[in-house]
């Protein structure tokens, strides 16, 4: 059974940093591009970043470029999102999600349960 | 950036109704579109990919159609468990989601 379990969310002050993790199991992690998708309270879904199956390529939405870093450890089957210089508009539930096999794009067939990040003083 | 517009934003329907949700892309995305269902307090669930391919274990009352800029998600006979918000996503260029259609029971 495919499982994606996020952790690391919490309350953080504007300008500070936070690192999210997503532990994957039930599939060959190193074969799949992975992504972070966020959802602000009562709002819609917003793609944040994608990393290729081997970690060689990364992609970000404009509003997080230079502040967020997506990475992965295939040996630990874990996805990460390092978030620096956080802003109030980054407040959201962050989901990790899996792209189709060997793809850095496409639909998200599996999602984690999400971890809430609140940026507030 | 490609914009995705969903309509209506809120839809009220009765059990057994045929329900149609719409999604329009700001430019041609061919068939690079997915549909998701999100129930309150849960993560999104993939229903349809490549505009009309039904994801494994999704009931056959769900179907998708369209290509280019105009797409439709149809529920052939609405069930109580289908109450949710539905999102479309384009993956032709980057990833963009629509704002969602909230589906409620009349």
Please tell me which of the candidates A46, A106, A111 has its beta carbon nearest to residue B97: A46
Compute the Cα dihedral for B90, B91, B94, B97 and give only its sign: positive
pLDDT for A42: 87
pLDDT for A90: 98
Compute the Cα dihedral for B44, B31, A1, A104 and give only its sign: negative
Distance (Å) from the alpha carbon of B79 to chain A's nearest alpha carbon: 23
Tell whether A104 is within 8 A of chain B (Cβ): no
Predicted confidence band of residue A6 (pLDDT cuts 50, 70, 90)? very high
pLDDT for A104: 85
Q: Do A107 and B91 lie within an 8 Å CB cutoff?
A: yes
**CA A120 → CA A81, A88, A92, distances in Å?**
19, 6, 12
Predicted confidence band of residue A72 (pLDDT cuts 50, 70, 90)? very high
pLDDT for B8: 97
Please tell me which of the candidates B46, B98, B99 has its beta carbon nearest to residue A108: B46
pLDDT tens per residue, range A86-107:
999 999 999 999 999 888 889 9
User: Average pLDDT in the B38-60 region?
Assistant: 97
User: Look-up: residue for tokens 């839809």?
Assistant: B11
């Amino acid at each position: 059974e495919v499982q994606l379990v996020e952790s690391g969310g919490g309350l953080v002050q504007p300008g500070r940093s936070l690192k999210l993790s997503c532990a994957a199991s039930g599939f060959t992690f190193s074969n799949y591009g992975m992504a972070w998708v966020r959802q602000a309270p009562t709002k819609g879904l917003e793609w944040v970043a994608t990393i290729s199956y081997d970690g060689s390529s990364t992609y970000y939405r404009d509003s997080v470029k230079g502040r967020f870093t997506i990475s992965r450890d295939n040996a630990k089957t874990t996805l990460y999102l390092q978030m620096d210089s956080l802003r109030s508009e980054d407040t959201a539930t962050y989901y990790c999600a899996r792209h189709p096999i060997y793809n850095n794009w496409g639909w998200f067939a599996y999602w984690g349960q999400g971890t809430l990040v609140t940026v507030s003083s | 950036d490609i914009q995705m517009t969903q309509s209506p934003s809120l839809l009220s329907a009765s059990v057994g109704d045929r329900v149609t949700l719409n999604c329009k892309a700001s430019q041609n995305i061919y068939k690079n579109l997915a549909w998701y269902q999100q129930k309150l307090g849960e993560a999104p669930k993939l229903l349809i990919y490549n505009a009309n391919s039904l994801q494994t274990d999704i009931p056959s009352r769900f179907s998708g159609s369209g290509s280019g800029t105009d797409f439709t998600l149809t529920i052939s006979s609405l069930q109580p468990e289908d109450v949710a918000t539905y999102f479309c996503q384009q993956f032709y260029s980057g990833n963009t989601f629509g704002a969602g259609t909230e589906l409620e029971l009349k």
